[in-house]
Amino acid sequence: MTTEILGVGFIILASALLAWPLGTYIAGVFRGDKQWLDFMAPLENGILRTAGLDGQRQMDWKQNLRALLGTNAVFFTLAILLLLLQGYHPFWNPNGFANWEPTLAFNTAVSFTTNTNLQHYSGETGASYLTQLMVFCWLQFVTAATGMAACALLFRGLANRESDKLGNFYSLMLRSATRILLPISIVLSLALTATGTITGFDGLTEVTTLEGGTQLVAGGPAAPMVAIKQLGTNGGGFFGPNSAHPFENPTYLSNILENVAILLVPMAMVFAFGSYLRRRRLGLLFFGVMTVLFVTFVSVSAYQETVGNPAMHQMGLATADPNLEGKEVRFGPAASSLWGVSTTSTSNGSVNSMHDSHTAVSGGVFLLDMFINAIYGGVGVGFINFFVFVVIAVFIAGQMIGRTPDFLGKKIEAREVKIAAIVAIFHPLLILAGTALTSYLQTRNPDIGWLNNPGFHGFSEMLYENTSAAANNGSGFEGLGDNTPLWNLLTGSIMLLARFVPIIGPLAIVGALAIKKPVPPTAGSLQPDSLAFGTVLLSVILIIAALAFFPVLALGPLAEYFTL
Amino acid sequence: MSTPQSSIFTGPLVGSALKESFVKLDPRAMIKNPVMFTVEIGTAVMLVVTVLSAFVDDPSLGTFGYNSAIAIVLLLTLLFANFAEAIAEARGKAQANTLRATRRDTTARKLTGDGAQEQSVSSAELGKGDLFLCEAGDTIPADGQIVEGLASIDEAAITGESAPVIREADTDRDSVIGGTQVLSDRIVVRVTADPGGSFLDKMIGLVEGANRQKTPNEIALTILLSSFTLIFLIVTVTLQPFAAYANAPISIAALISLFVCLIPTTIGGLLSAIGIAGMDRALRANIIAKSGKAVETAGDIDTLLLDKTGTITIGNREATAFYALEEDKLAEFNQLALISSLSDNTPEGKSIVALARKQGAAESPRLTEGAAFIKFSADTRMSGIDLADGRQVRKGAWDAIKRWGVRSAEADKRYLEERVSEIAGNGGTPLALAVDHEILGIIQLEDIIKPGISERFERLRKMGVKTVMVTGDNPLTAKFIAAQAGVDDFIAEAKPEDKMQYIREEQQLGKLVAMMGDGTNDAPGLAQADVGVAMNSGTQAAKEAANMVDLDSDPTKLIEVVEIGKQLLITRGNVTTFSIANDVAKYFAIVPALFVVAIPGLDALNIMRLGSPDSAILSAVIFNALIIPFLIPLALRGVKYRPVGAASLLIRNLLIYGLGGIIVPFIGIKGIDLIVNLFL
C-alpha cells in the first residue's frame, strides 16, 4: 500500500518538476524567443506558404478567432470525409474496414476536432491505419496545438498595454506543434516503445493461445499515437480499452510515463502563464489552487478504491479490501485512481481502468473534475477555462475590498463579467440539458437499451457521457450503449459547442482587456497572488461547480453511495 | 448591527415604505431587477397552484395549506426586498426634504429690461439667465452667480454652518444658493439653472430613486447575479426529468422553493437599497454628487490633490515666535510689532497682533496718533508705520529689509541670517522687523498643520491613495510641510496649469485622480480629474466643471468621499458573497427533502436533522425571506471600511461574510425548523 501511495506521490511530483522548466520554455516559444529548435523555421515557413497562410501578420482577437475557426473547420471537413470514405482508399487498411455510418462519422470527426476523443467506435475494429494516423493522430496534434495557441493569445492579451494585437494564430499553432508537442512526443514514444508499447503496420496477427486455440490479435502504430494522445490531452486510444490495453500501456513503468505525460503540458501551461507575464508568484498561486483540488480528489478517490465496495464485503465476495473490479492488477487501485483523476481533470479522457467500476464516490469525483474542467485542464483550454473563474473571482473579491475590480491592472467591467458569466453557465447548461433529455427519453421508454445498469448508476452513466462530451474529455463511464444516432448527434453537438464557446468568450474578454490602459497597483488594490485571493478563487470554483451540480451528484453517485 | 435601529426604522418612514413595498410589486417596475422579477414570476405561479390545489383533487399539486404557506413566504420575500428599497428611498427623501424645505416658493425681485425695472415674480418663474436683486433680509430665490455687488449671506439652511459667508461679484466666491438668506448689502444675481435643474434638484432626484441610474459596477453585478439566476433556473428545470427518472416526483411548491432559495435573492433584494444608501450617505456628508458613478469612482481614487491652505494647514500662516536681537529689547519688539501690524489686515498681520498682545504688548495712542501706515507694496515688499515720533518701522522679507538699507553690525546681521535660514529650513516664513534701518529681530510665521491630519493621510496611504499637497510656497517650505503633514508628494509654487499637468501625468499612468477646487482657474482641473469636488463657495465655473459639490466647502471632505465610495462597493461585494455562500446550507436543507422519500439513503445529507421534508423546505424559504430585513440595517449603513491593507481586508471580509454566510443559514434554518415543527 505504501508503495502505491509513494508511486502516486512520485507521479504528481515528477509531473510538476518537469512542468516548471517546460512552462518557461513554452512561454519562450509563445514570445518567439531564440531557441535551439529554430532550425525548424524553414519547415514551418514552408508549411505556412504551402497552406497560403500569413504567419507574420499581427492580428487582433477577432482576426485570430476567424483564423482559429477557419482552420478547425478545414480539419473537421477533412476528417469527416476520410471517415465517410474510409472503405475506398487502397493502402494502410490491411483489415479492409468499410465506410463509417454517418452519425458515427460526425460524432467522431467532431470528437477529434474538438480535442475530446470521445470514442463511440473501437479503434481496432473500425479504423484503418490511415484513419488512425491521418484523422486521429493528426488531429491529436493540431487540436492540441489549437488550444495552446488560443491560450497564447490569451496570455498576450493580458500582457498588452493598450494594443489590440494578440499575435498570429497560425504561427502560434504551428510552433506549438513543431516545437512543443512534436519533440516531447518523439521522446515519449521512444520511451514507451522501450517499455513495450507496440509500433508496427502489420494487420491482425494470428496467434496460438496457451490453450492451443487460435486468436486474431490487432496491432498497429500504437506508441506514437499513445504519446500524443497523452501529451495533447486527447485521450483517444489506439485500441478500444485505451491505456488499460497491454499493447498501449504494458507495465507499471509505462503507466508512470503516460500518467506524467497526461499532467505535463496542462501543468506547464500554468507555469507558462507565470513566465510569460513575468508573474511567477501568480502562476504558482494558480497552480497551488488547482493542486489543492487535485490532491484532495486523488486522495478521496484512492481511499475509496482502497476501502472497496461495501456491498461486496457484505456478500463476502471480496475478502481483501481494495476494489479491483475493472482495474488492471499491474497498476493497482491507487495508480488507477490517480489516473482517473488526472484524465478527468485535464480533459484528457484516456483510461487505464474502467471508470464505471470505480466506487460511487470515485465516480462522483471524476464527474466533479469534469464539472470544473479547469484543474490544469486540457492543453491551453484548461487555463482558458480557469481564466473565466479568475474573472468572476476578481470581480467579487475586488468589491469586497472596496475597489472596482481589476485583474493585472485591467478593469473588469460589465462586458467582461457578462462574457465570463455566459461561458461559466454554458458548461452546466450543456451537461444538464443533455442529461435531462436523455433521462427523459430513458424514463419514457425504459426498454431503449442504453443502460447496462438501472437506477442511480444508470443515471451516472448518462450524466458521465454528457459531462465527458461537455468537458471535451472523451473518457467513457462505459456501460452505456452510446453508438446510437441519438447519442452520436447529441454528444457531437455538445462537444462542438463546449469546445468553441469557451474559447470565443475568453478571447473576447482579453480582446477587450488588451486595449485597456492598465491601472497601477496600490496598497488598496487586490493582490491576485495573495493567499486570500487564492481562497476566493477556490471558493468560486467550488461554488459554481458544486452549486450547479449538487442535485445531479445527489441523484447519481451520492444516492448510490448512501444506498449501497 | 448592535447600534440602535430606531434611527433607521423611524415611524413615518416605515409607514410610507410599507405602502411603497406593495406599489413596487408592479411587474413593470420589478423587471429592472431580474433576480426579484423571477421571484415574482415564481410567486405568481405558486399563487395559481395554491388556488388550484383548493379546488382540484390532484395529489401532485400538494395540499392547499402547505402551498399557501409557501406562497405567502414567497410574497413576503418580495415585499421585504421592496421594503429595503423603499426605506432607503424614504430616508433619502427625508434628507432631501429638509433641503427642499429651503426652496419653498419665494418672491423674486426680477430685473427686466436693461436691469433698470424691478418686477415681483414667483421664484418658480425664474429661468436661466434672468437677473434678480436681493437686499438684506431677502431670501435668495434661485441658484445663481453674483454679477454686481457683495453681500454677507447666511447659508445655514443648506450647510448647517451658522457663520455667515461673504459672496462677491468677480471673485472666486461669486455664487449663491437658492434658499439662503442675504444678511447685509445688495447684490444682483444671474440665475444659473432653470427651475428643477439645479444641483440640489439633481441630487434630490438621485436619492429619491426617481432618476437613479445604475452605476457601471452595479450593472456588472446585476449581470453576474442574473447569470447565477439563470444557472439555477437550468438546475431547477432539469431537475424534473432527473427526478422522474429516479421515481422521486417533485411538487411544484418544492421546485419553486428550491429555485427561489438558490438564486441570490439576498443581494438581489438589497442591491438598489445599498446604492441609494450610498448616495444618501454622501448627501448626509453634505456632498451633492451629480451622478452615482462619481461616488463609485471616488472609491477607486489613486491620487488625491489637496490644497495646502485650509486642508493640511489651518487657514493661513501664523506668527508663532519673535526673536529679538537683544533679549532686553523684547518688550519694545513686541510693541513695535503690534503697532506696525495694526492696520495690516492680512491673516499674517492679524496673527502678529494676536501674538504681540499675548506677550503683553499694548497699543500706545501716543505713538499711533498721527502715525502713517505704510501699506504693503509689491515694489518694496514691506509694510510698516511711520510713527508720530518720527521713527520708521518696517517689516518684510529678510532680503527686502536688507535692500531697505540696514545699518546693523555685521556680526548681528550674520546672527540674524542664521536665524532666518533656520526658520525657513523648518518650513516657516521669517519676517524681519526694523526701526530706522536698524534690525530689531525676526518674526517667525509658521503654517499650523491641522491636528490629526497626518493620521488621516496615513489612513489614506493604507487605502492605497497617494496624497499630493498643492501650494504656492517655495519648494523648500513645501517639502518641509509635506514631510510634517505626511503627504506623499507636493507641487510647490503651483500655478493652475501645474495642477492640470500633474493630473494629466497621473492619468497617463492609468491612475484615477481626485481634486478639490473653488476658483474659476480650477475649473479645467476639476473637469479633467476623475472626481472633481467643487466647494459650494466657489465659482459657478468650478461647480459646473466638477462632478460633486461640497456644501460645507470643507477641503478635507475628499477623504470622506473616498471612504463613502469604498463603503458602497464593499457592502455590495460582501452581501453578494454572503448571499451566494448561503446556498450551501439551503442545498443541504432542500435536496435531501426532495428525494428522501424515494431514496431513503439520501437522508444522510440531511445533516441539520430537519424535522420533515415539508418543514425543511418551508424553513429554507422562510430563512431566505427573513435574511433580507435582517440585513437592511447593514445595507443602509454600509459595511464599515477599515484601511488595513487589501489582503487583510479581504481575509477579514471573507471570514465574516463568506464563512459566516455558510454557517449562519445552517443555524438559522435549523432554528426555524424547530419552530415550524411546533405548528405542523
Q: How do residues B622-639 score in pLDDT, each as one tens digit?
A: 999 999 999 999 999 888
Q: How far is A538 from chain B (nearest CA, A)?
A: 12
Give yes or no for residue B65 having a pLDDT over 70.
yes
In the three-class reduction of DSSP (H, G, I as helix; E, B as strand; rest coil), residue B50 is classed as helix
Interface contact B235-A428, CB threshold 8 A: yes
Runs of H (alpha helix) within A319-452: 332-345, 360-372, 381-400, 414-444
User: For B129-177, where are the E strands, in sequence order?
Assistant: 131-135, 144-154, 165-168, 175-176
Give contacts of B 550-579 with A, CB under 8 A: 565-567, 569-570, 572-574, 576-577
**pLDDT at A269 exceeding the cut of 90:** yes
> pLDDT per residue over A402-461, tens digit each?
888 889 888 898 899 999 999 999 999 999 999 999 999 998 888 887 887 778 888 998
Res. B4 pLDDT band, cuts 50 70 90: very low
pLDDT confidence of residue B52:
92
Beta-carbon pairs below 8 A across chains A and B: 225
SS3 letters for B424-441? HHCCCEEEEEEECCEEEE
- A308-328: average pLDDT: 71
For residue B587, list chain A residues with Cβ-Cβ distance below 8 A: 547, 550
Tell me the three cell numbers of residue B348.
499674517
Cβ–Cβ gap A443/B465 under 8 Å: no
The DSSP bridge pattern shows strands B382-386 and B392-396 to be antiparallel
Q: Measured between beta carbons, which residues in chain B are less than 8 angstroms from residue A399?
A: 217, 221, 569-570, 572-574, 576
Better-predicted residue by pLDDT, A203 or A546: A546
Specify the DSSP element, H or E, that contains A275.
Answer: helix A252-276
* A410: closest chain B residue by CA: B510
Torsion of CA B25, B28, B31, B37, to 10 degrees: 30
> H or E element: which one contains A407?
strand A406-407
| Of A195 and A220, the one with more pLDDT | A195
How many CB atoms are located within 10 Å of the residue A51 CB? 12
- C-alpha span between B680 and B667 (Å, rounded): 20
Closest by CA to B570, choosing from B627, B632, B635, is B635
Detail the DSSP E strand segments found in B353-406.
Answer: 372-374, 382-386, 392-396
Q: Rounded CA gap, B299 and B563, in Å?
A: 6
pLDDT score, position A245:
86
Q: Cβ–Cβ of B646/A563 closer than 8 Å?
A: no
User: How big is chain A by its Cα radius of gyration, in Å?
Assistant: 23
Name the residue among B223, B297, B580 with its Cβ closest to that of A543: B580
**B-contacting residues in A 452-471 (Cβ below 8 Å):** 456, 459
Residue of B220, B587, B601 with shortest CB distance to A563: B601
Whether B461 contacts chain A with CB within 8 A: yes
Highest mean pLDDT among A130-144, A241-255, B95-109, B255-269: B255-269
Mean pLDDT of chain A: 88
Written as nine digits, the cell of B445 is 510665521
Q: What pLDDT is recorded for position A316?
A: 67
Cβ–Cβ of B235/A422 closer than 8 Å? Answer: no
d(CA A90, CA B137) in angstroms, rounded, equals: 108
Q: Which of A494, A307, A362, A506 is nearest to A422 (CA)?
A: A506
The pLDDT tens digits for A109-150 are 999 999 998 888 876 667 787 887 788 888 989 999 999 999
Segment B89-105, tens digit of pLDDT: 888 777 777 766 665 66
Q: Does B663 touch chain A (CB under 8 A)?
A: no
- Chain A residues inside the 8 Å CB shell of B246: 456, 459, 555, 559
The answer to whether residues A128 and A135 touch, using CB atoms and an 8 Å cutoff, is no
Nearest CA of chain B to the CA of A388: how many Å? 12
Task: Report yes or no: A147 and A171 within 8 Å, Cβ to Cβ.
Answer: no
Q: Which of A404, A432, A532 sits opposite B235 (nearest CB)?
A: A432
Selecting from B220, B605, B647 the residue whose C-beta is nearest the C-beta of A395 gives B220
Residues 278-297 in A contacting B (C-alpha not used; CB under 8 Å): none
CA distance B278 to B257: 32
Query: Which of A412, A555, A561 best probes binding to B when mutated, by most B CB atoms within 10 angstroms?
Result: A555
Helix (H, G, I), strand (E, B) or coil at B487: coil
Residues B513, B468: Cα–Cα separation, whole Å: 10
> Residue B63 carries which DSSP code?
-
Contact A436, B241 (CB under 8 A): yes
Closest CA to A297 of A346, A235, A250, A245: A346
pLDDT band with cut points at 50, 70 and 90 for residue A517 = confident
d(CA B391, CA B437): 10
CB A236 within 8 A of CB A136: yes
pLDDT in the model for residue B236: 93
Q: Which residue numbers of B belong to the known binding site for ATP? A: 344, 348, 376-383, 395
**Residue type, position B13, single letter:** L
Nearest CA in chain A to B648: A532
Q: Are A467 and A477 in contact (CB under 8 A)?
A: no
The three cell numbers locating residue A483: 453508438
Active-site position among B174, B307, B473, B554:
B307
Mean pLDDT rounded to a whole number for chain B: 84
Summarised one tens digit per residue, pLDDT across range B594-610 is: 998 888 889 999 999 99
ipTM of the assembly? Answer: 0.90
What would the mean pLDDT of B553-558 be, rounded to a whole number?
A: 74
Question: Torsion-angle region of residue A308: left (phi > 0), alpha (psi -120 to 50) or beta?
Answer: left
The CATH 3.40.50.1000 domain(s) of chain B lie at 288-314+449-551
Mean pLDDT of A84-91: 80
Alpha-carbon distance A394 to B48, whole Å? 42
Terminal alpha carbon distance of chain B: 32
- Which three cell numbers, joined as nine digits, stand for A539? 471558493
Report the pLDDT value the prediction gives residue B3, as an integer from 0 to 100: 37
> Which is more confidently placed, A451 or A16?
A16
With a CB-CB cutoff of 8 Å, which residues 317-336 of chain B face chain A? none
Rounded to a whole number, what is the distance in Å from the CA of A77 to chain B's nearest CA? 33
Number of Cβ within a 10 Å radius of residue B156: 14
pLDDT at position A108 over 50: yes
In this predicted structure, the answer to whether residue B2 has a pLDDT above a threshold of 60 is no
Encode pLDDT of B312-369 as tens digits. 777 667 888 888 888 778 888 888 888 888 877 777 788 888 888 888 877 777 777 7
Dihedral through CA B89, CA B90, CA B96, CA B101, nearest 10?
150
Pick the CATH number of B318-446 from 3.30.70.120, 3.40.1110.10, 3.30.420.10, 3.40.1280.10: 3.40.1110.10
Q: What is the Cα–Cα distance from A34 to A25, expressed in whole angstroms? A: 11
C-alpha closest to that of A206 among A214, A198, A197: A214
Question: Which of A162, A399, A541 has the highest number of chain B CBs within 10 A, making it the mutation to test binding with B?
Answer: A399
Residue B297 with chain A: CB contacts under 8 Å? 404
* pLDDT of A392 over the 90 cut: yes
A532 and B583 within 8 Å at the Cβ level: the answer is no
| Cell 405568481 -> residue | B44
Cα–Cα distance measured from residue B493 to residue B476, given in angstroms and rounded to the nearest whole number: 10
Angle between helices B216-245 and B252-262 (to 10 degrees): 150
Please give the pLDDT value at position A465: 92
Residue B546 half-sphere exposure toward CB, CA atoms < 13 A: 31
Grid coordinates given for A247: 499493447
For A162, the closest chain B residue by CA position comes to: B510
3-state secondary structure of B122: strand
Burial track B7-41 (b if 16+ CB lie within 10 A, e otherwise): ebbeeebeeebeebbeebeeeeebeebbbbbbbbe
Round to whole Å and give the CA distance between A506 and A503: 6
Q: In chain B, which residue's Cα lies nearest the Cα of A413?
A: B220
Distance CA B271, CA B292 (A): 14
At A60 the pLDDT is: 93
Contact (CB<8Å) A436/B242: yes
Contact B302 A520 (CB under 8 A): yes
Q: At what angle do helices A138-159 and A61-84 cross, to 10 degrees?
A: 170
Task: Please write the tens of the pLDDT for every residue from A526-544.
Answer: 888 889 899 999 999 998 8
Residue A388: how many other CB atoms lie within 10 Å: 24
* Residue B632 Cα to chain centre, angstroms: 20
- Nearest Cα to Cα of residue A341 among A284, A289, A385, A296: A296
Q: Which of B113-127, B269-283, B565-579 bottoms out in mean pLDDT, i.e. has the lowest?
A: B113-127
Query: Active-site residue B552, yes or no?
Result: no
Q: What's the pLDDT score for residue A525?
A: 83
Question: Is A536 in Cβ contact with B654 (below 8 Å)?
Answer: yes
Is the pTM above the cut of 0.90? no
**d(Cα A399, Cα B347) in Å, to the nearest integer?**
46
- How far apart are the C-alpha atoms of A516 and B213, rounded to whole Å? 24
Q: A512-516, B155-159, B397-401, B409-413 — which one is most confidently predicted on average?
A: A512-516
Residue A288 has pLDDT above 70, yes or no: yes
pLDDT band at B1 (very low <50, low <70, confident <90, very high): very low
Q: What residues of B are in contact with residue A281 (Cβ under 8 Å)? A: none
Closest CA–CA distance from residue B87 to any residue of chain A (Å): 24
- Domain formed by B107-140+143-192, architecture: Distorted Sandwich (2.70)
DSSP B655: I
Question: In sequence order, what DSSP letters do the residues of B433-485 get, joined into one string?
Answer: EEETTEEEEEEEEE--BPTTHHHHHHHHHHHT-EEEEE-SS-HHHHHHHHHHH
Largest CA distance in chain B: 117
Domain limits, CATH 2.70.150.10, in chain B: 107-140+143-192
- Give me the pLDDT at residue B5, please: 39
Note whether B553 and B537 are within 8 A (CB).
yes
Report pLDDT for A395.
92
Cβ contact B269:B36 at 8 Å: yes
| CB within 8 Å: A398 and B573 | yes
The most confident of the ranges A14-23, A97-106, B48-57, B275-284 is A14-23
pLDDT of residue B267: 94
Name the residue among B305, B292, B284, B293 with its Cα closest to residue B533. Answer: B305
CATH of domain B288-314+449-551: 3.40.50.1000
* Residues of chain A positioned with their CB less than 8 A from the CB of B565: 402
> CA of A517, closest CA in chain B: separation in Å?
6
Which contacts of B420-424 are long-range, i.e. CB under 8 A and separated by 24 or more positions?
B424/B476, B424/B477
Stretch 246-285 of chain B: residues touching chain A, C-beta under 8 Å: 246, 262
User: Which of these, B525, B524, B505, lies nearest to B514 by C-alpha position?
Assistant: B525
Q: Cell 430585513 identifies what position? A: B629
C-alpha dist (Å) from residue B316 to B305, B443, B472, B474:
19, 15, 12, 15
- H or E element at residue A490: helix A485-514
Please report which helix (H) or strand (E) contains residue A222, including its range. helix A222-231
pLDDT greater than 80 at residue B20: yes
* More confident of the two residues B375 and B9: B375
Query: What 3-state class would DSSP assign to A116?
Result: coil
Tell me whether B12 touches chain A (CB under 8 Å): no
Residue A39 and residue A22: Cα distance in Å, rounded?
19
What residues of B are designated binding site for Mg(2+)? 518, 522
Strand (E) positions, A223-274?
A: none
